[in-house]
Structure 1
């Protein structure tokens, strides 16, 4: 069995993946808050962990991998969007989830094994919160329940933050009822216009962090193998997940993986800079989903990724070439060993793509087609690219050589070197290639049935 090594954020080093349950792998990845379209940066973790999902399924078997990616469908941003639009919260979240899945389908992402909505797991969140109060790790204050960070000695160890950094990065308004500025909300009260559920502390709704801890526990158990997400979630979200889960008595995740952030043309994506766009914006501009995916996979997930028009153009050209070369080829039954080895080495997708370029150079088109399919990069050619395929023979583009022969034939005619002109003409006929010169000096050519460029070998 292929050995997979992954960089563990928790230990700051690469580790062999040793499943908790032998032969089975479990993975949880933080999903979107569903109030708006997914922007291009949101697509990166989806594509990264979809690729890991595919690798795990390849190594362990499709039915031996459990992948959970949640939807946060209770949030103040959703409430604000409902107030702005006049839509109900359920209408907004249902519609946004559908659009999200449509966009992620377009970039080739498989659906995870489970896609829980936070609102479907309110009771487990209430139960975990009550348990934390009972164990002395949380307290009630003015209708809120807060986690007491001082009760967890390792708080801050995961993200490696200093006390000042954690206070500054907590992103939570410091309220007078908090015992410590870093204490975070597990449960908060809801008014008549805000979604809420019954609890021992009154009508309310969960805080953000408790959602993932409760859903991961319900779907994957006391402990699981991999927890993933963008590195912007390391603090406070993942730090808080670990604290509350550990204090609730759960071992939680063994390996933590974080992808780096995305830039656009070398700059941070921002609406104020005019470089902010969604996945749907790109798709509507005619950028195929496979091109988006290829660009994302061309950079290792732990490195910052720069989206540029140049990269998108080059990705399209590469995918067209690969498709042309493999169009009438049956894929290999087994994936190339070096290709799999690159992926198994901390999900080195850039290395895997390098192996695919090597397959193309070495004319191992069956291996290339299998790898293209595995990475969900199968590309639909447009009509122009289809015409190019007419001149790909045994993996080689013969059209430039044909054009060279036509030029030589034309020059021979002008020079009245009819022996050379006739020999090229006869070779074209033998190869079933029709060539017509018009009165203005133009030329048209096309391959006929039975086209055989080997008949031109003596001249090319």
Structure 2
């Protein structure tokens, strides 16, 4: 087994070997919970969920950390707006909402979206506000090493000194003199306008509850500091993979890398970034109205279809949404599900996952190439349909097992709504539906068309779609 992944820092494909044999530490950036999840958030989560599933399929024990940024300027701004006398609450806001309540509410919305789309819960999902002590320790290490300093004014801010670290800019291959000023604090307290905040002193307009005591004065952590501190706590001073969206490379990941390595930590061995989601080739923007949310996608298609669409492109490439995208994804998913339904009917029970085909494995080993892996999936489905048509039950059983193994790696089988059956419940439902289909077949054979239509209508009312063919009736759940 040999896997290669693209390392953003090296700008090349590298052979992946865990730092500890048999074990992988993966950290990827979660949400700043200041609003509803957008499609970029869930695309990133799905990409790293697929990575995790593949590493595990290859026999590795994976520890996954995904942070929650639950203290941030935007969270405070939205909370403050809810207390304004003339505030008119948008549909998803509530009047007079404390910052921590707002953050927690949106955190639950993210979890709901992740769960619905089959993104498995990480091993650890730490909140920034729960790790202030670790952040203080990292700041102290940087000050002692000469790479950070308290503000030159009385603001209680602490800054990272970018000029003190010669490798600053190495992740994104930028020269310091070409970089813009860091916008995260008042530049009057900085040695260099490009220095970024590690600790942000408490401002008079902010709630006291959104600040913590520190050796440098009361305040709250800078955004970049949070991830370095939490990654270090849960994965150690050096770990295998740091991931996130391409938009986080600068300044967030660049600053994480600088402050972590300047403190003497090895930090991430690989940096992996997923591409953005566009709308018909253009960047999504609320101002021009070309956005679509996960919530809107799930109103149009099943979670399994939405998961397929959001995971179908190569993780590093741009994923373009078009009004026909979910229809196309639904057709692809239906081909897979129809084959499996027909196979279960022919073979008389559930299909047990076996091994993925070699073409699928080779594609996933080469930088998680999901498009080529999907080609292998659909080729296997075609072979399985041929086996069913020719009455070759052994080949049908083999290909069905391979298909279920592949859909499991891709996470399609875990993308369900809360009231959708899975596991033993799904098996029980299948048995009941098959009994109804048998009764319908008997009614049709007896030319009792009224009874046959009655059964079909009953199943349709329950959300069961029936498709008749020369081999009999196949059924599926979905919208």
TM-score (normalizing by structure 1): 0.81
Alignment of 1:49-198 (within 5 A): 49-61=48-60, 64-85=61-82, 86-141=96-151, 142=153, 143-163=156-176, 165-167=178-180, 170-172=182-184, 175-191=187-203, 193-194=206-207, 195-198=210-213
Determine the C-alpha separation between the residues in 1 that align with 2:287 and 2:445: 57
Separation (CA, whole Å) in 2 of partners of 1:252 and 1:454: 57
Assess if the C-alpha contact under 8 Å between 2:185 and 2:200 holds in 1. Answer: no
CA distance in 2, matches of 1:171, 1:290: 40
| 1:275 lines up with 2:290 in the alignment | yes
Partner residue in 2 for 1:424: none
Which residue in the other structure is 2:406 paired with?
371
What's the secondary structure of 2:257's corresponding residue? helix
List gaps (5 residues or longer) in structure 2.
83-95, 345-349, 385-398, 421-429, 435-440, 457-467, 473-479
The CA deviation at 1:338 is 2.1
Q: Describe the shift of the 1:298–1:191 C-alpha distance in structure 2 as closer, same or farther (beyond 3 A).
A: same
Deviation at 1:103, TM superposition (A): 0.6
Between the aligned partners of 2:469 and 2:9, the Cα distance in structure 1 is: 60
1:454 Cα deviation after fit? 7.8
Q: Which residue of 2 is the match for residue 418 of structure 1?
A: none
Q: Distance in 2 between matches of 1:228 and 1:181?
A: 28
Task: Specify the alignment match of 1:46 in structure 2.
Answer: 45
Q: Distance in 1 between matches of 2:18 and 2:97?
A: 44
Deviations 1:111-130 (A, max 9, x none): 11110000010011011111
Q: Which whole-Å CA distance do the structure 1 matches of 2:184 and 2:34 have between them? A: 20
Per the alignment, in what secondary structure is the counterpart of residue 273 of structure 1?
coil
Matched, 1:347 2:335: no
| CA-to-aligned-CA distance 1:185-217 (integer Å, 9 cap, x gap) | 000111353311010111100101110110011
The separation in 1 between residues aligned to 2:446 and 2:285, in whole angstroms, is 55
Secondary structure of the structure 2 residue equivalent to 1:156: coil
Larger Rg: 1
Q: Indicate the RMSD between aligned Cα atoms, in angstroms.
A: 3.0
Note closer, same or farther for the CA distance 1:312–1:154 as it changes in structure 2 (3 Å cut): same
- Relative to the length of structure 2, the TM-score reads 0.78
Structure 1 residues 202 and 366, CA, compared in 2 at 3 Å: closer, same or farther? Answer: same
Corresponding pairs, count: 401
Given candidates 303, 306, 326, the residue that maps to 1:312 is: 326
Matched, 1:265 2:280: yes
Distance 1:296 1:250 in 2: 34
Q: Where do 5+ consecutive residues of structure 1 fail to align?
A: 391-427, 438-443, 456-460
CA contact (8 A) 1:297 1:350 kept: no
